[in-house]
């Protein structure tokens, strides 16, 4: 008998059948599972619909918290269609013996491109330059930029040195930036192998002309950039965030920008999304904001859905997934290790 995968009902009703709407996920899942849609308007309704499901797939819908996880009686795997998994209580899933997967390497290049775009645009005060060009202040732009150091020879600091930060570092070298990074969970040899100087957190803050923020969101990283950290930075520093909004204490960022403790910011993510329209960041000429769109391209959404389906299909077929967020749970599951065969050689050849 086929297994079942629960997905939250779309916000807008679709007329196409489930098999058509989830064709990308079903490329891998179809031989072993059917997708069922579950009412996610309340946690109670979601539990009622997903209770007997063998898997749950999510992206940016309902938060899969400990209460929901406790109500999943047969769930083997929760597949998250993004890099970040903060919409799932991973600790509760681990305690329940449920594997959590993500898609950590699908849109790395896109986010790295967007990070460099914000770095260049915020550094060159593009928002202000565009306003001046449009409202008759043509000759006021150059005097502003006369006080902005040239990019070549400046220092880019990276908080965390995962896939995106590595891709950012490779791009930044072409602009003549010296790159430093802080990540206590990454080998210094990996950093130096990329031509990146490993430093302490305090040194990172003190030396960075541009600071790009890349850690995942958890109890240790939430609000890790706050008043004390901004006070330790250069007054000319520019902060870039294409990771998770809540890593930055937004009220502290606003204070730092208003007081001149830092010079500018480029943000693709915020603590609250969408922001209130009276959020001071939206009105600042030295702040450039994009609507959590760094990963968006023609390829991103389709490939993310395919990859999410493949991860869940691996787990439902009794194998370890490729991208397990909570790997300590794997030995406690009936899933077994597997090795992919080369494309030109199957298991029986």
Of 292, 301, 303, 319, which residue is the catalytic one? 292
pLDDT at 343: 47
225: which strand partners?
248
Q: In angstroms, rounded to a whole number, what is the distance separating the alpha carbons of residues 90 and 74?
A: 17
pLDDT at 339: 62
H or E element: which one contains 216? none
List pLDDT tens digits, range 218-227.
889 999 999 9
Of 125, 207, 244, 310, which residue is the catalytic one? 244
List pLDDT tens digits, range 291-318.
999 999 988 889 999 999 999 999 999 9
Determine whether domain 3-106+298-332 maps to CATH 3.40.1360.10.
no
Q: Which two tokens stand for residue 68?
A: 């929901």
pLDDT over 70 percentage in the chain:
95
pLDDT at 11: 58
pLDDT over 90 percentage in the chain:
82
pLDDT at 347: 40
Of 73, 273, 299, 332, which residue is the catalytic one? 273
User: Where exactly are the structural domains of the chain?
Assistant: 3-106+298-332, 108-289
pLDDT at 83: 84
Q: Which of 53-67, 186-200, 226-240, 254-268 is the least confident region?
A: 53-67
Question: Residues with Cβ < 8 Å from 143, sequence gap 6 or more?
Answer: none
- Residue 199, pLDDT above cutoff 70: yes
- Answer yes or no: 147 catalytic: no
pLDDT at 105: 87
- Answer yes or no: 178 catalytic: no
- Residue 204, pLDDT above cutoff 70: yes
Topology match between the domains 3-106+298-332 and 108-289: yes
- Answer yes or no: 244 catalytic: yes
Q: Which two tokens stand for residue 234?
A: 């250069």
240: which strand partners?
212, 266
Question: Residues with Cβ < 8 Å from 60, sequence gap 6 or more?
Answer: 82, 87
pLDDT at 345: 45
List pLDDT tens digits, range 277-286.
999 999 999 9
What mean pLDDT is reported for the chain?
93
Q: In angstroms, rounded to a whole number, what is the distance separating the alpha carbons of residues 305 and 98?
A: 20
Q: In angstroms, rounded to a whole number, what is the distance separating the alpha carbons of residues 302 and 179?
A: 33
The most confident of 10-24, 47-61, 76-90, 253-267, by mean pLDDT: 253-267
Homologous superfamily (CATH) for 108-289: NAD(P)-binding Rossmann-like Domain (3.40.50.720)
Upstream peptide bond of 274 is cis (omega within 30 degrees of 0): yes
The pTM (predicted TM-score) of the whole model is 0.84
């Amino acid at each position: 008998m086929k297994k079942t995968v629960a997905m939250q009902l779309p916000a807008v009703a679709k007329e196409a059948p489930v098999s058509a709407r989830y064709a990308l996920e079903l490329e891998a899942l179809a031989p072993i599972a059917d997708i069922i849609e579950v009412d996610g308007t309340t946690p109670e309704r979601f539990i009622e619909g997903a209770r007997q499901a063998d898997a749950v797939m999510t992206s940016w819908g309902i938060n899969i918290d400990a209460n929901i996880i406790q109500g999943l009686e047969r769930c083997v795997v929760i597949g998250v269609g993004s890099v970040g998994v903060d919409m799932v209580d991973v600790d509760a899933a681990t305690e329940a013996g449920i594997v959590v997967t993500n898609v950590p390497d699908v849109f790395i290049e896109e986010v790295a491109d967007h990070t460099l775009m914000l770095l260049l645009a915020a550094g060159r005060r593009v928002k202000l330059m565009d306003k001046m060009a449009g409202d008759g202040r043509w000759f006021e732009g150059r005097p502003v930029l006369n006080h902005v150091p040239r990019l070549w020879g400046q220092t880019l600091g990276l908080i965390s040195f995962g896939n995106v930060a590595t891709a950012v570092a490779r791009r930044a070298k072409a602009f003549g930036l010296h790159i430093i990074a802080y990540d206590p969970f990454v080998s210094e040899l990996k950093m130096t192998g990329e031509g990146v100087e490993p430093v302490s957190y305090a040194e990172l803050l003190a030396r960075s002309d541009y600071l790009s923020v890349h850690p995942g969101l958890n109890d240790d990283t939430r609000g890790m950039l706050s008043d004390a950290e901004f006070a330790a930075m250069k007054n000319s520093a520019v902060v870039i965030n294409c990771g998770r909004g809540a890593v930055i204490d937004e009220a502290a960022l606003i204070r730092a920008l208003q007081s001149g403790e830092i010079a500018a910011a480029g943000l693709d993510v915020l603590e609250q999304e969408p922001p209130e329209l009276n959020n001071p960041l939206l009105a600042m000429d030295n702040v450039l904001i994009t609507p959590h769109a760094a990963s968006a391209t023609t390829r991103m959404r389709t490939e993310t859905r395919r990859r999410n389906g493949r991860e869940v299909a691996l787990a439902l077929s009794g194998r370890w997934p490729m991208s397990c967020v909570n790997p300590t749970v794997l030995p406690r599951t009936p899933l077994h290790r597997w090795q992919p065969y080369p494309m030109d050689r199957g298991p029986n050849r």
